[in-house]
């Protein structure tokens, strides 16, 4: 029974925590080019929210609107009771870690980190102490006197973090901060960033195009497509109950089953199962791991037979593609199944999650 | 066998290259070498190679007040022109780099025009302007004369705005704008960001522009020729004396100017190498030199 509708899932956010930032119907156009349309999003205190999207989806523009480097064409941004979108960037209690860090090349590491405190005219003793603490937190104390050009990418990343966090912002914005790092360092930094966020306890808004990164780090993911929010949910929910075909395909692998619902029965490519959805055309997402090979004999299973046409090794599991007479299903299996083999497949009706179509947008 | 053939071809080619290079450099630097040698030549001008060496010309030069007056006049003009052209040129570069306004393309061309305008035209048109009744009245009120060092300074300062603008504009194009955003993000307002981030990053371009303006003003002759009052600048003083024939003191002062330029260029070069990777420094130097040659 597929009773859980996507809209019900969407509202399951970190409702327990008070809202910190509220983006209300924000739109942005550059000339005739619509970059963002009608974005509404609430970010809770202490939350790790990831804005996930392909390049050109508008995710960086949204971040820049929060930071104040772009102004929204319409809509509002509020932080608590204060209207943020009318304020210049330097009056917002928000700090940014830039994609290529944007460290000041003419200043040393410690001068970079102390920059915000110096322009805020904090006493010298306080600056020295807070800078030292911040550098210690990111393990860069030994490089305090170095120039940014003399340290590695990963180290620059840490300095950029320290430079932002030393100002004790209410929210940290991160614009694809890991994209310049190699895969190993990247995974390591994902863990470090996540634990740093727990430690400092402020909200992180993290922009990335990497769905795996988003899954690993986030409390919630806001999936952006062509300037519109496709779905906002926890990684678990967005994976298990994708709202749209695009969400289902962008995050993990999936099978999209296109069919028709008539009188409580769903029918897709000759497969039939009971559903409570209203009549009409329907689209279902079925994850590869929800399709089992063999025949368990369970009465609730939907069964189909097919021929293995492709097999790919993915470490712990394998992904095979099975041609079931016009319908090609991707199936995750624990053991190796040779191509050309004829096999039986089955799945449970509730694992076929109804999703909305994702029409092409320009 | 084949290998040896190529070797031979290579070595003959490289011999030609060496000969060619030597010829070009000789053409460029031999005149300067002759000038320097003559400044130490006991016979003054003529009589090459010198039979005996002397520092007399430098001694004479040292006590030649009108030469030194002209040197100080030139220095005054050069520093003032530097100040004027940077004051107007840097904001113009900023406007060209970041502002969008109607007529920007026209503005850009107008700013750069003096760079290609012949000095004679600039000089003549300024002279006409300074002859206009009320302008002339103002000039006379300020300096007591219609034409003076002030008019030369105004001439150099305005004509060289284009140099300041191009140099600083090039620097701005290389500047990473994210740095300025980072500064705003960290709580610095626009003014603080300009002084703490933009200017330090433009330091090399501004110093480069200043040095270039300085040297261009120091040896400028065409514009100065039209606008000269009672006080001579150094190039005009030299020019005036040359009409009475080459004198050895002129070789001496020219040698000093040459050494001074050399020190300036080396200073600038080292600054650039320290500031950047060095790869593009050669190119910049060539650009600057060709600018000077103009």
Residue numbers in A near B197 (CB within 8 A): 104
In a domain, A362, yes or no: no
- Using a CB-CB distance cutoff of 8 angstroms, which residues of chain A are in contact with residue B179? 102, 104-105
Last residue of a domain, one of A197, A223, A244: A244
Question: Do A117 and A184 lie in a common domain?
Answer: yes
- CA distance linking residue B188 with residue A65, whole number of Å: 18
pTM for this model (two decimals): 0.76
Q: Cβ distance A104 to B184 under 8 Å?
A: no
pLDDT of A241 reads 93
User: What's the confidence (pLDDT) of residue A7?
Assistant: 43
Q: Show residues of chain A in contact with B181, CB under 8 Å.
A: 67, 69, 89, 96, 98, 102
Q: Which region among A340-354, B199-213, B256-270, B278-292 has the lowest average model confidence (pLDDT)?
A: B278-292
Element (H, E) at B282: helix B281-293
Residue A158, domain member (yes or no):
yes
Among partner residues A69, A90, A105, which is closest to B189 by beta-carbon distance? A90
Residue A361 or A89, more confident: A89
Pair A270, A216 in one domain: no
Q: Write a three-state SS string for B18-74.
A: HHHHHHHHHHHHHHHHHHHHHHCECCCCCCCCCCCECCHHHHHHHCCHHHHHHHHHH
For chain A, what is the HEC assignment?
Answer: CCCCCHHHHHCCCCCCCCEEEEEEEEEEEECCEEEEEEEEEEEECCCEEEEEECCCCCHHHHHHHHHCCCCCCEEEEEECCEECCCCCHHHCCEEEECCCCCCCCCCCHHHHHHHHHHHCCCCHHHHHHHHHHHHHHCCCHHHCCCCHHHCCHHHHHHHHHHHHHCCCCCEEEEECCCCCCCHHHHHHHHHHHHHHHHHHCCEEEEEECCHHHHHHHCCEEEEEECCEEEEEECHHHHHHCCCEHHHHHHCCCCEEEEEEEECCEEEECCEEEECCCCCEEEEEEECHHHCEECCCCCCCEEEEEEEEEEEEEECCEEEEEEECCCCEEEEEECCCCCCCCEEEEEEEHHHCEECECCCCCC
| Residue B293 reports pLDDT greater than 60 | no
Same domain for A295 and A176: no
Residue A24 CA: distances (Å) to CA of A41, A68, A175, B119:
7, 15, 21, 61
pLDDT tens-digit series, residues B17-53? 999 999 999 999 998 888 888 888 877 666 667 777 8
Beta bridge partners of A95: A172
Please say if the pLDDT value at position B280 is more than 60: no
A82 lies in a domain? yes
- Give a yes or no: residue A18 inside a domain: yes
Q: Which of A244, A263, A286 is the last residue of a domain?
A: A244
Whether residues A60 and A173 fall in one domain: yes
Going by pLDDT thresholds of 50, 70 and 90, the confidence category of residue A268 is: confident
> pLDDT for A177-234, tens place per residue?
888 888 888 898 899 899 999 988 999 999 999 999 999 999 999 999 999 999 999 9
pLDDT for the residue B13? 83
Specify whether A263 is located in the same domain as A227.
no
pLDDT per position as a tens digit, B111-131: 888 888 888 888 898 888 888
Same domain assignment for residues A189 and A269? no
Percentage of chain A lying above the pLDDT 90 cut: 60
Q: Name A221's Cβ contacts closer than 8 Å, sequence gap at least 6.
A: A49, A50, A52, A214, A215, A231, A232, A233, A234, A235, A238, A251
Interface with A, mutate which of B186, B274, B275, B278 (most A CBs under 10 A): B186
pLDDT for A14 equals: 45
- Locate the domains of chain B by residue range: 64-293
Q: What is the pLDDT of residue B59?
A: 87
Does A104 sit within 8 Å of B178, measured CB to CB? Answer: no
Find which of B179, B185, B278 to mutate to test the A interface (most A CBs within 10 Å of its CB): B185
Give the pLDDT score at A4. Answer: 43
In this prediction, residue A231 carries a pLDDT of: 94
Q: CB-based burial of residue B274 (10 Å sphere; 0-12 exposed, 13-18 middle, 19+ buried)?
A: exposed
Within-domain flag for A45: yes
Average pLDDT over residues A127-137: 94
CATH number at residue A326: 2.40.50.140
Q: Please check the confidence at residue B98 and state whether its pLDDT lies above 60.
A: yes
Judge whether A268 lies within some domain: yes
Q: Domain containing A182: what range?
A: 6-244
CA distance A96 to A172: 6
> Taking CB atoms and an 8 Å limit, are B184 and A120 in contact across chains?
no
Give the model's pLDDT for residue B55. 84
Question: Do A29 and A131 belong together in one domain?
Answer: yes
A311 has a pLDDT exceeding 90? no
Bigger pLDDT: B214 vs A2:
B214
Q: How far apart are CA B193 and CA B182, in angstroms?
A: 9
Q: What is the pLDDT of residue B1?
A: 47
- Evaluate if residue B144 carries a pLDDT over 80: no
The residue-averaged pLDDT of B75-80 equals 94
Q: Give B64-293's CATH code, choosing from 1.10.3720.10, 3.30.450.20, 2.40.30.110, 1.10.150.130.
A: 1.10.3720.10
Domain check: are A212 and A294 in the same one? Answer: no
| Residue B34: per-residue pLDDT | 85
A260 shares a domain with A239: no
Task: Find the CATH number of the domain harbouring A232.
Answer: 3.40.50.300
Q: How far is CA B279 from the centre of its chain?
A: 23
Q: Which of A61, A84, A101, A104 to mutate to test the interface with B (most CBs of B within 10 A)?
A: A104
A361 falls within a domain: no
Q: Please state, as a whole number, how many other Cβ atoms lie within 10 Å of the Cβ of residue A88.
A: 10
How high does pLDDT run on average in chain A? Answer: 89
pLDDT tens per residue, range B164-179: 999 899 889 888 889 9
Contact B183 A98 (CB under 8 A): no
pLDDT for B8: 62
**In a shared domain, residues A188 and A263:** no
Query: Which is more confident, B270 or B93?
Result: B93
Q: Examine the pLDDT at B222 and tell me if it is beyond 90.
A: no
pLDDT score at A11: 43
Arithmetic mean of pLDDT over chain B: 83
Q: B10 versus A211: which is more confidently predicted?
A: A211
Split into its structural domains, chain A has a count of 2
Within a domain: A95: yes
* Residues A259, A210 share a domain: no
Q: What are the structure tokens assigned to B165, written together?
A: 């603008």
Of the pLDDT bands very low, low, confident and very high (cuts 50, 70, 90), residue B208 is confident
Tell me what pLDDT residue B9 has.
Answer: 65
The last residue of one of the domains, among A244, A270, A290, is A244
Instruction: Identify the pLDDT of residue B17.
Output: 92
Same-domain check for residues A218 and A183: yes
Instruction: Report the pLDDT value the prediction gives residue B289, as an integer from 0 to 100.
Output: 46
The residue among A332 and B13 whose pLDDT is bigger is A332
B184 contacts A106? CB cut-off 8 A: no
């Amino acid at each position: 029974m597929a009773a859980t509708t996507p809209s019900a899932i969407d509202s399951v956010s970190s409702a327990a925590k008070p809202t910190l930032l509220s983006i209300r119907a924000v739109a942005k156009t550059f000339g005739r080019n619509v970059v963002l349309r009608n974005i509404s999003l609430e970010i809770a205190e202490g939350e790790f929210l990831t804005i996930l999207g392909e390049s050109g989806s508008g995710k960086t523009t949204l971040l820049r609107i929060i930071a104040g480097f772009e102004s929204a064409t319409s809509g509002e941004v509020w932080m608590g009771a204060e209207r943020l979108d009318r304020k210049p960037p330097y009056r917002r209690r928000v700090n940014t870690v830039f994609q290529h860090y944007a460290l000041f090349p003419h200043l040393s590491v410690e001068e970079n980190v102390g920059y915000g405190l110096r322009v805020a005219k904090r006493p010298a003793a306080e600056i020295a102490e807070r800078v030292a603490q911040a550098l210690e937190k990111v393990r860069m104390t030994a490089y305090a006197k170095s120039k940014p050009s003399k340290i590695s990418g990963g180290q620059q990343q840490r300095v950029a973090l320290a430079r932002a966090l030393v100002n004790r912002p209410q929210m940290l914005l991160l614009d694809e901060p890991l994209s310049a790092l190699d895969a190993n360092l990247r995974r390591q930094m994902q863990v470090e960033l996540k634990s740093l966020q727990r430690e400092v306890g402020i909200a992180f808004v993290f922009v990335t195009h990497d769905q795996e990164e988003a899954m690993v780090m986030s409390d919630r993911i806001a999936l952006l497509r062509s300037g519109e929010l496709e779905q906002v949910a926890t990684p678990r929910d967005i994976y298990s109950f994708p709202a749209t075909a695009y969400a289902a395909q962008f995050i993990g692998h999936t099978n999209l089953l296109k069919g028709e619902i008539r009188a409580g029965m769903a029918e897709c490519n000759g497969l039939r199962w009971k559903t409570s959805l209203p009549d009409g055309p329907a689209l279902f997402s079925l994850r590869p791991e929800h399709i089992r090979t063999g025949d368990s004999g369970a009465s609730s299973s939907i069964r189909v037979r097919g021929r293995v046409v492709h097999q790919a090794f993915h470490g712990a599991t394998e992904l095979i593609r099975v041609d079931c007479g016009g319908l090609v299903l991707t199936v995750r299996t624990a053991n190796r199944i040779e191509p050309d083999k004829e096999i039986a497949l089955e799945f449970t009706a509730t694992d076929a999650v109804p999703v909305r179509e994702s029409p092409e947008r320009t | 066998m084949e290998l040896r053939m190529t070797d031979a071809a290579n070595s003959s080619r490289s011999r030609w290259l060496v000969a060619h290079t030597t010829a070009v450099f000789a053409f460029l630097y031999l005149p300067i070498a002759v000038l320097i040698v003559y400044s130490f030549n006991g016979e003054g001008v003529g009589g090459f190679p010198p039979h005996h060496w002397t520092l007399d010309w430098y001694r004479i030069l040292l006590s030649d007040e009108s030469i030194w007056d002209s040197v100080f006049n030139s220095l005054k003009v050069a520093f003032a022109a530097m100040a004027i052209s940077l004051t107007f040129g840097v904001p113009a570069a900023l406007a060209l780099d970041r502002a969008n306004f109607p007529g920007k393309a026209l503005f850009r061309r107008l700013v750069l025009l003096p760079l290609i305008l012949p000095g004679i035209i600039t000089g003549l048109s300024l002279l006409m302007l300074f002859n206009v009744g009320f302008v002339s009245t103002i000039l006379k009120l300020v300096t007591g004369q219609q034409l003076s060092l002030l008019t030369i300074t105004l001439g150099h300062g305005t004509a060289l705005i284009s140099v300041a603008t191009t140099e600083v504009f090039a620097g701005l194009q290389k500047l990473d704008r994210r740095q300025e955003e980072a500064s705003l993000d960290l709580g610095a307002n626009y003014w603080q960001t300009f002084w703490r981030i933009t200017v330090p990053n433009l330091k090399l371009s501004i110093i480069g522009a200043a040095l270039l303006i300085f040297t261009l003003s120091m040896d400028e002759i065409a514009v100065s020729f039209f606008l000269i009052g009672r006080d001579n600048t150094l190039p005009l003083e030299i020019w005036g004396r040359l009409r009475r024939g080459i004198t050895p003191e002129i070789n001496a002062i020219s040698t000093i100017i040459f050494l001074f330029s050399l020190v300036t260029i080396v200073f600038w070069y080292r600054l650039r190498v320290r500031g950047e990777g060095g790869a593009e420094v050669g190119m910049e130097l060539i650009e600057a030199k060709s600018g000077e040659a103009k």
